[in-house]
Structure 1
């Protein structure tokens, strides 16, 4: 049966601009584990003065349950952050690399070229540890200003990452530019370099209302890992009122299940957790299925649920 790996980024994306007690973060992560989410972006190891909402990164990792089969991951921006992630026991550390020069300077204070030079140093630090080093490609599909990006626009960046030995990438639609047609063009171009679409991770943000349509196209193309954010949560520390939430995990999971794609996630329990998180954040409600409930079905993930017209990418 066709399956997709869901990576939920809400513990990092929601709390980086909306500080909550550490106990709330632990409860969210425990709930995500209990409903069957196999990969979780727990936090960012960044300077607490810049992102005070994530100042408890080490404590969160220390208090995590560690069930087998669940990947606990984090973002890093420099060597200090990577060493902290390694010491905390992060399975994967994702370097914050931008495809946009201006955003790179604003977000990390470094140019793209300087970031790539640093990434080379970070690879040497990660080698021989239990923490795998990968890289975000922030704004891979476009933004924050200008027109959408083409595969040719980001190919030089991916070539450099490959040269550096970084083969795990998160293609992040950080600004909500991506549309299904662009998704198809981008993935079909990039997948061979990654050894197939199943090896790609794509993160879609729903800033312009195209998120679920893009999730459907990514699933059709056979992308292996989809980044989503429970209850559509998320904010940027520099602009906490900006609409930058990821696609609702619960909406994406319902879509995948109704398409006959296995996620291993308990959808009703996930919806309960999404509603719980919304109350903790006090945020403007987003998404759909958590308000209406899932479409009734006997078995969303049974083989018989696969429609005759479905042909996985």
Structure 2
């Protein structure tokens, strides 16, 4: 099977269940359904303190049950102890939770951004002796959650420090949905001046309705690794009541495929799984295509429009 034009990494198993308590069996069923739809890369959970994020206390068990041939299973970690747990669980990748926003950094991990970088340096030394790929998030890379926008100069300062530490795989997260296409191009171009496109993942959030607009500029810039969340689900315990969900995977897949960018994902199956997930977590999901149905192919008819959201 040829490689997809874009690798969609599904982050709902982590992003959704850190905000909604569900049984472990539901998480495993979600991965099974997504795998059948063609998803091959996941951010599966986080190895963090269970008293702070009780919804992910079963991370080790989820990894044990979700392991399947051909899948790449990643996680989030907040310190060396969490990284050691991820290695023990057999995670393929672990991403450090580094926030570009000082206030959120302290709320999320209890450390400043500077202290977080010191912890990441210790983690990089630890990871060097183990079979795991260590990456780092840059949370709120475009700004937020409450402060002004960030640009290329802000990222440049952080990028040089990350390279000094020896971490050159980055997940740039537009965690507050600040970025329109010009801002996407500016910050991603700045990142690509430091690392190759294959080392860069962009995680899109849709808090301000601009998420889909980010996709094609990313493709034009050569970014092929994009994080999205089924049904736009998700949230964060450090931002109670905040929206926090990722860009809807099903909407992203439709836009990319119609633009001639392959994903390897079966859209009708994905839509069915999105509607199933919304029922399981008991909250109204976001997005469009799961309500309207996909754009019909030649010889097909569109599903009747439904405005019951």
For the superposition of Structure 1 and Structure 2, which TM-score range results when normalised by the shorter chain? over 0.9
- Residue of 44, 50, 53 corresponding to 1:51: 53
Q: Note the 1:76-87 alignment, pairs <5 A.
A: 76-87=77-88
In the other structure, the counterpart of 1:164 is 165
Deviation, structure 1 residue 240:
4.0
In the other structure, the counterpart of 1:269 is 269
In the other structure, the counterpart of 2:12 is 10
Q: Which whole-Å CA distance do the structure 2 matches of 1:298 and 1:169 have between them?
A: 40
In the other structure, the counterpart of 2:67 is 65
- Determine whether 1:121 maps to 2:122: yes
Q: Which whole-Å CA distance do the structure 1 matches of 2:219 and 2:240 have between them?
A: 30
Distance 1:33 1:232, change over 3 A: same
Q: Which whole-Å CA distance do the structure 2 matches of 1:12 and 1:198 have between them?
A: 23
1:178-218 deviation per Cα after TM superposition (whole angstroms, max 9, x unaligned): 111101111222213112x3432101110111111112221
Deviation, structure 1 residue 261:
0.3
Q: Which whole-Å CA distance do the structure 2 matches of 1:189 and 1:2 have between them?
A: 25
Secondary structure in 1 aligned to 2:123?
Answer: helix
1:141-164 deviation per Cα after TM superposition (whole angstroms, max 9, x unaligned): 001122210110121111111111
In the other structure, the counterpart of 1:136 is 137
Q: Note the 1:173-212 alignment, pairs <5 A.
A: 173-195=174-196, 197-212=197-212
Q: Which whole-Å CA distance do the structure 2 matches of 1:240 and 1:91 have between them?
A: 30
Contact kept, 8 Å, 2:231 with 2:250, in 1: the verdict is yes
Distance 1:252 1:80, change over 3 A: same
CA RMSD of aligned residues (A): 1.5
Deviation, structure 1 residue 2:
7.3
Q: Which whole-Å CA distance do the structure 1 matches of 2:52 and 2:106 have between them?
A: 15
Q: Which whole-Å CA distance do the structure 2 matches of 1:89 and 1:2 have between them?
A: 25
In the other structure, the counterpart of 1:279 is 279
In the other structure, the counterpart of 1:236 is 236
Deviation, structure 1 residue 298:
5.0
Q: Which whole-Å CA distance do the structure 2 matches of 1:287 and 1:14 have between them?
A: 15
In the other structure, the counterpart of 1:31 is 33
Deviation, structure 1 residue 297:
2.1
In the other structure, the counterpart of 2:103 is 102
Deviation, structure 1 residue 20:
0.1
Q: Which whole-Å CA distance do the structure 1 matches of 2:295 and 2:91 have between them?
A: 36
What TM-score do you get using the length of structure 2 for normalisation? 0.93
Deviant stretches of 4+, over 6 Å: none
Q: Which whole-Å CA distance do the structure 1 matches of 2:151 and 2:67 have between them?
A: 41
- Determine whether 1:254 maps to 2:243: no
In the other structure, the counterpart of 2:288 is 288
1:102-149 deviation per Cα after TM superposition (whole angstroms, max 9, x unaligned): 211111111111111111110111113221110000000001122210
Contact kept, 8 Å, 1:2 with 1:260, in 2: the verdict is no
Q: Which whole-Å CA distance do the structure 1 matches of 2:122 and 2:157 have between them?
A: 19
Secondary structure in 2 aligned to 1:296?
Answer: coil
- Farther-moved stretch of structure 1 (206-215 vs 184-193): 184-193
Q: Which runs of 5+ in 2 are unaligned?
A: 300-309
Secondary structure in 1 aligned to 2:142?
Answer: coil
1:242-285 deviation per Cα after TM superposition (whole angstroms, max 9, x unaligned): 11100000000000000000111111111111111111111123
Q: Which whole-Å CA distance do the structure 2 matches of 1:167 and 1:34 have between them?
A: 32
Q: Which runs of 5+ in 1 are unaligned?
A: 300-313
